[in-house]
């Protein structure tokens, strides 16, 4: 056994010394300082920050990574620290922030109190747009619901819920009048026809909404269906919806002259109260078809016609019963002899009103209690194309002569005039 000589330090094994220096140099290496006796690690090209020496053990590598991550705080934490430094340096900014934190809850609470206080409560309610027998009940329901509101907190949903039992009301619009007034406007969907289904009669709107029997009137035309839904529901039959669309598009005077709408060999057929039949075919372009009908009937040569075919608005045709020849065509103000020029060019409301008065028939010609029982004259025999087959029947009136020369311009004028005339209906 070798003994150390006097005056010399003991000899240490190289492996043990290196391990000890490595343990002592780990904290220094994390800080970027190399321990004595350890080789300095070369930084990688492009790398920044302190270089951590690699360790063979997994525990040392993980500890080195955690130390490097702890030396770089997150961006959010750094931003918060910078804001705190700014607030600490500026005294006015600190005072403004504290005042805002104190005043914000007070402002929110004060606004909430003011919105529901008696200073802005609704005391005067003005209801407009409600007509018919249900108008007083609609106004009372809206006034009762509005008096629980304020002019700063108008609840339109509560107003709509108040008039939900009234199917005639389509929409409710409200506008506040500070400090104690509220204006409520009611948009109605008036009845356009009497629906006869399952032995029951009920009023129905143009969009198919059932309005109930309380809005029935002897002036409403009649349509038939298989089953009548409850009030407030919508009919689902396609043919019935088309009939309602045609009635709803009729000009005001014509709407009162319609007796009933049915489906015949020529499609959708409108029967007037004086017995005239108008073949619409379907519900497409109803405004143009109504004005085309008015254009034909405004000419004196269409007097006595039993039907008018307006399935193609630009090419209308009037049919006459057997033994009734058409009258001579009247000349237009321009002298061209074009039929129906006053209505096609100007869309005169006076002319339409006069035609509708004639179509409504003489007084007492129909039962005022049940217009559905009005007699409808039989349709003249027609070919599959809808042209009359009677030998003595004149197939076209002066209104039917226009397609040969100036039908397209007149049809376009009738269509545009129909849109403008029936826009307010």
Higher pLDDT pick, 203 / 339: 203
pLDDT score, position 6: 57
* 111-138 pLDDT, tens digit each: 888 888 889 999 999 999 998 888 999 9
Q: Among all chains, which residue has been given the structure tokens 């910078």?
A: 82
Confidence category of residue 53, pLDDT binned at 50, 70, 90: low
Dihedral of CA atoms 267, 271, 277, 278 in degrees, nearest 10, equals -60
**Tokens representing 17?**
């010394």
Highest mean pLDDT among 32-46, 280-294, 344-358: 280-294
pLDDT in tens, 231-272: 889 998 999 999 999 999 999 889 889 999 999 999 999 999
- The per-residue pLDDT for range 310-338, each reduced to its tens digit, is 999 999 999 998 877 776 554 333 333 33
Residue range 77-106: mean pLDDT, rounded:
83
Q: Mean of the pLDDT values across residues 348-376?
A: 60
Q: Which two tokens stand for residue 36?
A: 């004595």
What pLDDT does 75 receive? Answer: 84
Per the listing, tokens 């545009």 go with 416
pLDDT at 227: 82
Decide which of 91 and 3 is more confident: 91
Q: Please state whether the predicted TM-score (pTM) of the whole model is above 0.75.
A: no
Task: Return the SS3 of 33.
Answer: coil
Please list, residue by residue across 45-62, b when 16 or more beta carbons sit within 10 angstroms of its beta carbon and e when fewer do.
eeeeebbbbeeeeeebee
Encoding tokens for residue 184? 């409520």
Question: How much is the pLDDT for 109?
Answer: 87
Could you give the CA distance from residue 168 to residue 156 in angstroms, rounded to a whole number? 18
Give the pLDDT score at 16.
57
Cα–Cα distance measured from residue 415 to residue 264, given in angstroms and rounded to the nearest whole number: 25
């Amino acid at each position: 056994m070798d003994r150390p000589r006097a005056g010399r330090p003991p000899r240490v094994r190289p492996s043990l010394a290196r391990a000890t220096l490595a343990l002592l140099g780990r904290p220094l290496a994390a800080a970027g300082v190399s321990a004595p006796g350890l080789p300095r690690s070369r930084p990688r090209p492009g790398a920044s920050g302190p270089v951590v020496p690699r360790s063979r053990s997994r525990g040392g590598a993980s500890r080195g990574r955690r130390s490097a991550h702890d030396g770089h705080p997150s961006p959010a934490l750094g931003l918060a620290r910078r804001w705190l430094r700014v607030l600490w340096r500026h005294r006015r900014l600190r005072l403004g922030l504290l005042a805002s934190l104190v005043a914000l809850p007070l402002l929110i609470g004060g606004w909430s109190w003011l919105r529901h206080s008696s200073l802005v409560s609704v005391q005067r309610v003005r209801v407009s747009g409600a007509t018919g027998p249900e108008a007083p009940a609609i106004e009372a329901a809206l006034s009762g619901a509005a008096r629980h509101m304020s002019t700063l907190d108008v609840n339109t949903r509560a107003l709509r819920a108040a008039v939900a039992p009234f199917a005639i009301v389509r929409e409710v619009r409200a506008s506040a009048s500070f400090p104690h007034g509220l204006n409520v406007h009611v948009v109605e969907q008036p009845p356009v026809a009497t629906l006869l289904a399952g032995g029951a009669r009920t009023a129905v709107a143009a969009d198919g909404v059932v309005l109930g029997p309380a809005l029935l009137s002897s002036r409403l035309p009649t349509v038939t269906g298989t089953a009548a839904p409850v009030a407030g529901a919508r009919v689902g039959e396609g043919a019935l919806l088309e009939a309602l669309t045609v009635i709803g598009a009729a000009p005001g005077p014509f709407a009162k002259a319609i007796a009933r709408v049915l489906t015949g060999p020529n499609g959708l057929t409108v029967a007037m109260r004086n017995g005239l039949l108008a073949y619409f075919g379907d519900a497409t372009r109803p405004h143009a078809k109504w004005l085309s009908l008015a254009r034909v009937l405004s000419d004196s040569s269409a007097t006595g016609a039993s039907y008018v075919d307006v399935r193609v608005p630009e090419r209308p045709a009037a049919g006459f019963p057997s033994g009734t020849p058409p009258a001579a065509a009247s000349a237009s103000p321009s002298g061209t002899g074009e039929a129906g020029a006053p209505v096609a060019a100007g869309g005169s409301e006076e002319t339409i009103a006069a035609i509708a008065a004639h179509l409504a028939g003489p007084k007492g010609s129909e039962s005022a209690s049940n217009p559905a029982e009005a007699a409808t004259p039989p349709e003249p025999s027609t070919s599959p194309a809808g042209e009359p087959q009677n030998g003595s029947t004149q197939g076209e009136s002066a209104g039917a002569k226009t397609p040969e020369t100036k039908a397209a311009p007149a049809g376009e004028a009738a269509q545009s005039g129909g849109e403008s005339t029936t826009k307010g209906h």
